[in-house]
Amino acid sequence: MPTTDVVIIGAGPYGLSIAAHLRARGVEHRIIGDPMHFWRAQMPKGMLLKSEGFASNIFDSEGVLSLRQFCEERRIAYADLGMPVPLETFSAYGLDFQKRFVPDLEDETVVSVGRYQGGFQLQLQSGESFTARKVVVAVGIGYFYHLPEKLTHLPTEGLSHSSAHSDLERFRGRDVTVIGGGASAVDLAGLLHEGGATVRLIVRKPLVKLHTKMQLPRPLWQRVCQPISGIGPGWRYLVLTEAPLLVHHLPTTIRLILVKRVLGPAGGWFMRDSFAHVPVLSGYRVNRAEFSEGRAHLQIVANDGTETRLVTEHVIAATGYRVDLRRLPFLSQEILSQLRLVENAPILSSGFESSVGGLYFVGAMSANSFGPVMKFAVGAKFAASRLSRQLAAQRQAPLTSLSSMAPGRYSL
């Protein structure tokens, strides 16, 4: 059976960045996945990224191909600050990055990962089986979409999650209700309106928050008091972006609070015009939902107890994502039973290693261990640098067995 040192599952910004770093370090590896799949297939066309241009990079080891460089080569309008990055531009950038720095990517699907003789055995959808000493799980958040319990019984004809829609043309001329209060909900509602749908938004909070457009050039006092970081302006965000290892050493309760409360749901400033035409039912939650005669019948309840009924052709739940490793279909039950979790996310060492020796998790799955920056593409810089350095150093070292793990190695 063929074997490799490291296999990376997933080919988004994190997987591509790690593969590029491993290739530069000469570490034997395979990377398997559909490049930029989440961005190309699970986000709506016409969407603009909330992250600024300078914070939307994918990372090779030398920093050769930034988004700025890609846009200059293609003569695409770009600015580090104040110019939203179109989804299509970012996706094209990711595909170009893959061709240049990760040419050996295998556009395949991993269907199973299990333990095997001190390492792992993987099987692909094609039927191929092989072994690896180490596995890096770098899949995106698409596996973890969240649907409100009150809606889950509705048929797919009347209900979908926002991640199911890259092309909104199917909703032209139809009545659609979007549920949610974050960027996905705002983006979808605005794009649906522009695309000719009759749309409304239901949100639990009293109002929908939209960011304010940054003043450029930034005054000196702003640059001093609110320095720019990859996830937002301010010293707190700068620390969270530049020092995820420091965050890793904080008590678990504090880290979990940071992940939940920092950078709450909000739409981008650039959505103000299109979103202004969308009716918003704020302060409402869905109490009951039924589907009959091709329509969803919703009973919604306001914070003051007032009940309202509405009928719509389709409900889109733009209700975000909740990491839960049990929803990764390729991980064996043996591995899942051995993983130490907090709120269904893996407890990781300072090198992204889980309690199953040789198994690593990055991206949003590592946010509970390293902070909210791991939920953004900019977090791939730290993850790729640290993880590739560790994997390169361990090339000739035997896999650490579960029984020999050093006490205190994992942050709880």
In angstroms, what CA-CA distances link 214 with 82, 160, 236? Answer: 7, 34, 18
Domain assignment present for residue 219? The answer is no
**Nearest partner of 154 among 328, 286, 305, 323, judged by Cα:** 286
DSSP assignments along 163-203, one per residue: GG-S--GGGTTSEEEEE-SSHHHHHHHHHHHHTT-EEEEEE
How far apart are the C-alpha atoms of 317 and 144, rounded to whole Å?
Answer: 13
CA 137 to chain centre: 13
Kindly state whether residues 293 and 398 are assigned to the same domain. Answer: no
Mention every residue, 6+ apart, whose C-beta is less than 8 A from residue 112.
Answer: 121, 122, 123, 330, 332
How far apart are the C-alpha atoms of 131 and 129, rounded to whole Å?
Answer: 7
Domain assignment present for residue 339? The answer is yes
For position 264, what pLDDT does the model report? Answer: 84
Kindly state whether residues 309 and 328 are assigned to the same domain. Answer: no
* Range list of H helices, 250-366: 252-261, 272-275, 333-338
How far apart are the C-alpha atoms of 161 and 188, rounded to whole Å?
Answer: 11
Kindly state whether residues 25 and 103 are assigned to the same domain. Answer: yes
Arithmetic mean of pLDDT, 21-45: 97
The boundaries of the domain holding residue 298 are 159-210+266-317
Kindly state whether residues 187 and 270 are assigned to the same domain. Answer: yes
Q: What tokens were used for 240?
A: 């969270």
For position 151, what pLDDT does the model report? Answer: 96
Please tell me the pTM assigned to this model.
Answer: 0.93
Point out the domain boundary residue: 285, 317, 349. Answer: 317
How far apart are the C-alpha atoms of 296 and 36, rounded to whole Å?
Answer: 33
Arithmetic mean of pLDDT, 368-388: 97
For position 411, what pLDDT does the model report? Answer: 47
Name the DSSP letter for residue 406. P
For position 52, what pLDDT does the model report? Answer: 96
Task: Return the higher-pLDDT residue of 409 and 325.
Answer: 325
The pLDDT of residue 97 is above 90: yes
**Nearest partner of 252 among 371, 412, 373, judged by Cα:** 412
The pLDDT of residue 404 is above 90: no
Kindly state whether residues 168 and 116 are assigned to the same domain. Answer: no
Kindly state whether residues 308 and 185 are assigned to the same domain. Answer: yes
Q: What tokens were used for 110?
A: 């991993």
Mean pLDDT of the chain: 94
- Name the pairing type of β-strands 159-161 and 345-346: unpaired
Domain assignment present for residue 341? The answer is yes
Which pLDDT tens digit goes with each residue over 265-307? 899 999 999 999 999 999 999 999 999 999 999 999 998 899 9
Point out the domain boundary residue: 292, 317, 342. Answer: 317
Q: What tokens were used for 332?
A: 């064996």
Arithmetic mean of pLDDT, 137-161: 96
Arithmetic mean of pLDDT, 154-178: 96
Kindly state whether residues 203 and 345 are assigned to the same domain. Answer: no
For position 132, what pLDDT does the model report? Answer: 97
Domain assignment present for residue 373? The answer is yes
For position 343, what pLDDT does the model report? Answer: 95
Kindly state whether residues 311 and 364 are assigned to the same domain. Answer: no
Q: What tokens were used for 286?
A: 């869905």
For position 400, what pLDDT does the model report? Answer: 42
Domain assignment present for residue 15? The answer is yes
For position 405, what pLDDT does the model report? Answer: 37
The percent of residues above 90 in pLDDT, for the chain, comes to: 92
8 Å CB contact between 325 and 336: yes
For position 118, what pLDDT does the model report? Answer: 85
Domain assignment present for residue 355? The answer is yes
For position 263, what pLDDT does the model report? Answer: 85
Which pLDDT tens digit goes with each residue over 36-72? 999 999 999 999 999 999 999 999 999 999 999 999 9
**Which run of H or E residues covers position 361?**
strand 359-361
> pLDDT grade, residue 249 (50/70/90)?
very high
> Residue 174, exposed/middle/buried by CB under 10 A (0-12, 13-18, 19+)?
middle
How far apart are the C-alpha atoms of 348 and 370, rounded to whole Å?
Answer: 9
* CATH at 29: 3.50.50.60
Kindly state whether residues 387 and 293 are assigned to the same domain. Answer: no
Measured distance between the N- and C-terminal CA atoms of the chain, rounded to whole angstroms: 37
Arithmetic mean of pLDDT, 130-158: 96
Kindly state whether residues 310 and 271 are assigned to the same domain. Answer: yes
How far apart are the C-alpha atoms of 10 and 135, rounded to whole Å?
Answer: 11
Domain assignment present for residue 175? The answer is yes
Kindly state whether residues 32 and 133 are assigned to the same domain. Answer: yes
Point out the domain boundary residue: 317, 332, 353. Answer: 317
Domain assignment present for residue 256? The answer is no
Kindly state whether residues 70 and 166 are assigned to the same domain. Answer: no
Work out how many domains the chain is built from and give that number.
Answer: 2
